[in-house]
A and B are shown apart, each in its own frame.
Chain A
Amino acid sequence: MEQTKVIVGLGSCGIAAGAKKVYDRIKAEMDAEGLDFELKKTSCIGMCYREPLVEIIDENGSYLYGDIDEKRAVEIIQKHVSQHNPVKDYVVQTELFETSDNDFVKPQVKIVLRNCGYIDPEKIEDYEARSGYRAIRKIAAERIARLDVIQTVINSGLRGRGGGGFPTGLKWKFANDNKADEKFIICNADEGDPGAFMDRSVLEGDPHSVLEGMIIGAYAIEATGGVIYCRAEYPLAIKRLNIAIEQAREKGYLGKNILGVEGFNFDIYIKEGAGAFVCGEETALIASVEGLRGMPRKRPPFPAASGLWKKPTNINNVETFANIPWIILNGAEEYAKYGTDRSKGTKVFALAGKIKRSGLVEVPMGISIRDVIFKLGGGIQEDKKFKAVQMGGPSGGCIPDSLSDTIVDYDSVNATGAIMGSGGMVVMDEATCMVDVAKFFLDFTRKESCGKCTFCRMGTTRMLEILTRITEGKGEEGDIQKLEELAYEIKDNSLCGLGQTAPNPVLTTIRYFRDEYEAHIRDKKCPAKVCKSLLTYEVIPDKCTGCTLCAINCPVDAIDGERKGIHFIRQEDCIKCGMCFTKCKFDAILTY
C-alpha cells in the first residue's frame, strides 16, 4: 500500500491565514506519535477562502480539508491518518463524496495552474514528475525548428495575459525577425493591478513552469539573456524563483549549450521592482531594468526591434509563459479547443471583494461572468445583492449586474468599456459606492502617473478633484459632463496605456451608475452609505443605553446626553465624521 500523504498549502495567503503553524503542529504530531506518513508542502491551491488547507491522500483518494487550525489539524491526523477515518465535516473538496465546495472545482480547466497545489514548488523533481521540462526536452531532442515552435504558439491562438491581449506567437515572430548578437526575453511579473494575485500564485506555486516557458521562448527567438521583473512586494515569489533558477542551472536547463543544443546559451536573473505601477508598461519596465526612472517612451521602435540595452527584446506576462510548455507538449489544437473564436484557451481569474469564495479559478474563455461569480464564486457574501464586478483594475471598468451574462473573452469584455486586464475580478455589492470606487482608482492612477504627459498628470488630478468634491457633497450641475470631457482628452493625449486607460473606471461608472452620481450631486446623498459627509447621523432612542461613548469621542462635542440617559446629536454642529457610528457598541447610531 502506498504511504499516506499529507500536504499543507503554504502560499502567501495560506501563511497569512496560519498555515505555517498548522504545518509545524502536524510535524510535531508526526514526530511525537511516530506516525508513518509523508508530510509535504505545496503552494496556493486556489481556495483561498478556506485557508489554511490540508490535503490528505490515502489509498482511497484525495481529501481536501479547509479552515484547518492547529486543533483541527491534530484531529484530522489522529482520525484520518491514524484511524483511517476521514473527518467528513471538514472536507471541502473530494471526488469521493458530495461536499460543500465541489462545484468550485468542477467547471475549472487547469492549464496554467496545472501544478499549483500539487507540487512542492521548491523541488524541481516534483515539477519534472508532472511532465515538467518535457516540452523543452522534446524541442531539444527532436531539434524542432525555431519557426515551427513559433508557428505552434501562433496556431494555439494564445494571446498575452498581461492585459493587452496581443497574440503571443506573432510577438515572438517579430522578435525572431530582428537579428542581433544579443537578444533578451523578459517576464513581466510586476502585477501592478491592485486586486489581482494570479501571477503571484503561479510564481509561488509553480515557478519552473514560468522558467520553462521563458526557455522555450529564448530558443524560439534566439535570446541570450532573460530577466524576470518581479515586484518587491512578493518576497516569497522572489525566494522561490531564486531557488528554481538555481536548480534549473544545476540540471542544465539554463546555461551553455542547453540540453545538448549547440549554441543554445541562455540564463535568467531576477530584477526586483521598486514600487511603481507604470513599470508594468513595457518601455518603462525596460528603463527600470536599466536602472533608470521608469518612464514610458514613444513606440516605435517597439521592444521587439530595440528594447533592453537597445537590443531586440520580447516581453511576456507570467501567465502567458506558464501556458507555453503545455501548448508545446499537448499541441496547438488541443489548446485551441478551449475558448471562443478569437480568445483561445483558459484564463485565470483572481476573485476578491464581496464574494463568498475568494481565490483563484482557471476557466475556459467564453464562460459567462455570472457563472464565474455565482457558480464558482458561490455568490455574494451574506447573500446581499450583486451590484458590479470590477475587471482590469485601474485600466478597466465596472461591469454591472445587468451585463453579467457577458462572456469572458477579450472582445466581449472590451465592449462593456472594461478590459480583460490581468484577470482581477473585484466583486461589489449594494454597500459599495460606485463614485467612491471611481475616485479610488483615479487617486491610484494620479499617484502612479509618471508625470511625462500633461493630460495624464494634470487631467487625472482635475478629475480626482471633481470626484472628491462630489463625494463630499459639493458636487455641481455639469460635473458629470466635465468628467466626461476630461476623460476623453486624457485618453486621446496620453503617451502610454496608463494615461490612455486611466479614465475607464470613471467612464464605466458614469455609463452604468449615472443615477448614483446624480444622487450625490443633486440630492447630496450616497445611496450606498459610504461617503461619510453625505450621511446624517442620529441616535436611535430605543437602542441607546446612555453609555456616553459617542459623546466622549465626538470631536466637536455635538452630542448631548447624560450617563444612562438617551443621547442626542445636534445636527447643526455635527461635522459628519462618523466617529459616533464607529464607536457605539449597541448599533444605536442610525445613518441615512
Chain B
Amino acid sequence: MRIERINIEEIKDVREGVDLALLDPLIEKFRDKKGKMIPLLQGTQDIYGYIPREAFEKISGETGLKLSDMFGVATFYAQFRMNPVGKHIVKVCHGTACHVQNANSITEAMQEALGIDDGETTEDGMFTLESVACLGCCSLAPVMMIGDDTFGKLTGTQAIRIIKEIRKKELKQNQPD
C-alpha cells in the first residue's frame, strides 16, 4: 500500500552540493498558483533528480506549504524520490504484458549485470534499477526504458549488452585522448 513508502530512516541526509538557488525560478512560477504542490515537487525533482531535504524546507518556507503536507504528497506518489539516483535510470517494465513475457528474467539479468537490487543505485552512481508498471509499449514486451530510450522484445542477454554499451560510452567520455 502507498503508506508503506513512508520510511523516514531510509532517507539519507545528503547535505553537500545542493544549490538551492536553482529553485528560485520554479518557486516564482508557481507561488500564487492553485494546486501548486505537485508541480513544485516535480520541478524540484527535475532539477536535482530527487527531492533533497533542504528543498522541502526552502519551498515550505517560501510558499507557506506545510512540510507535513509536502512530505505526505511526496511519499504518496511513486514518482518522487527522496534519495539521489544514478545518472541512468533503468526502468524495467513489470506490467501485465511484460510479466507474461517473462520480465522477471530481465530484472534478474540487470541485477546481475549491475550488481544491485531493485530500487538500488550502483556505487559509482551510474545506474539506478527500478521496476515500473507499463510503459505503454506492451506490443514489444518485455520492455525497458533507460532515459528517454525504450528497448523492446528484450532478452536478458540483450539487456546486458545495452548496459555494457552505455558503460563503454561513459568511459570514452571520461577519458578524452
Give residues in A with beta carbon < 8 Å to B: 12-13, 15-17, 48-49, 51, 191-197, 200, 232-235, 271-278, 288-294, 309, 350-354, 358-359, 390, 393, 424, 426, 428, 432, 437, 440-441, 444, 446-451, 457, 460-461, 582
B38 at interface by CB-CB < 8 Å: yes
Distance, CA A177 to CA B143, complexed state (A): 46
Query: B36-61: which residues lie under 8 A (CB-CB) from chain A?
Result: 36-39, 41-42
Q: Is residue B148 contacting chain A, with contact meaning CB distance below 8 A?
A: yes
Is B8 an interface residue when CB atoms closer than 8 A count as contact?
Answer: no
Instruction: Evaluate whether A352 and B141 lie within 8 angstroms (CB atoms) in the complex, with A16-B150, A197-B136 already known.
Output: yes
CA distance A86 to B97 in the complex (A): 35
A289 touching B35 in the complex, CB below 8 Å, given contacts A232-B79, A233-B134, A276-B76: yes
Whole-angstrom CA separation of A461 from B3 in the bound complex: 13
Q: Which residue of B lies closest to A288 (CB)?
A: B38
Chain A residues lying within 8 Å of B105, measured Cβ to Cβ, are 582
Residue of B nearest to A440 (CB): B99
State A353–B98 Cα separation when bound (angstroms).
7
- For residue A445, give the distance in angstroms from its CB to the closest CB of chain B: 10
Whether the Cβ atoms of A194 and B78 lie closer than 8 Å is no
- Contact B77 A461, beta carbon cutoff 8 Å: no
Q: Which residues of B contact A393 (CB under 8 A)?
A: 96
- Apart from A196-B138, A274-B77, A450-B76: 8 A-B pairs, beta carbons within 8 A: A194-B133, A195-B95, A292-B69, A358-B139, A390-B96, A426-B97, A426-B100, A457-B1
Complex CA gap A451/B76 in Å reads 10
Indicate whether A451 sits within 8 Å of B139 (C-beta atoms), given known contacts A13-B152, A233-B134, A274-B38: no
Check A440 against B35 for contact (C-beta < 8 Å).
no
B122-144 near A? 1/0 per residue, CB < 8 Å: 00000000001111111111010
CA gap between A500 and B53 in the complex, in Å? 37
- Asked if B1 and A12 make an inter-chain contact with CB atoms under 8 angstroms apart, the answer reads no
The smallest C-beta distance from B72 to any residue of chain A, in angstroms, reads 6
> Given A293-B72, A353-B97, A457-B1: A234 and B136 within 8 A (CB)?
yes
With contacts A291-B36, A353-B96, A447-B1 taken as known, whether A51 is within 8 angstroms of B140 at the C-beta atoms is: yes
Known: A15-B150, A294-B77, A352-B139. A197 touches B134 (CB 8 A): yes
Max chain A C-beta neighbours (<10 A), residue from B39, B138, B140, B156: B138
Residues of chain B from 1 to 32 with CB closer than 8 A to chain A in the complex: 1-4
- Contact between A290 and B35, CB atoms less than 8 A apart: yes
Please report the C-alpha to C-alpha distance between residue A354 and residue B101 in the assembled complex, in whole angstroms.
7
Shortest distance between the CB of A206 and any CB in chain B (Å) = 16
- Residues of A within 8 Å of B37, CB to CB, are 291-292
Closest 8 CB pairs of A and B: A194-B95, A195-B96, A48-B139, A275-B78, A274-B77, A194-B134, A291-B37, A358-B139
- B100 touches which of A278, A437, A448, A451 (Cβ 8 Å): A437
Which of B1, B95, B99, B139 has the largest number of chain A CB atoms within 10 A?
B139
Q: A291-B35, A353-B96, A446-B1 are in contact. Are A197 and B79 (CB under 8 A)?
A: no
Given A12-B150, A275-B79: A195 touches B139 (CB 8 Å cut-off): no
Q: Chain A nearest CB: distance from B155 CB in Å? A: 11
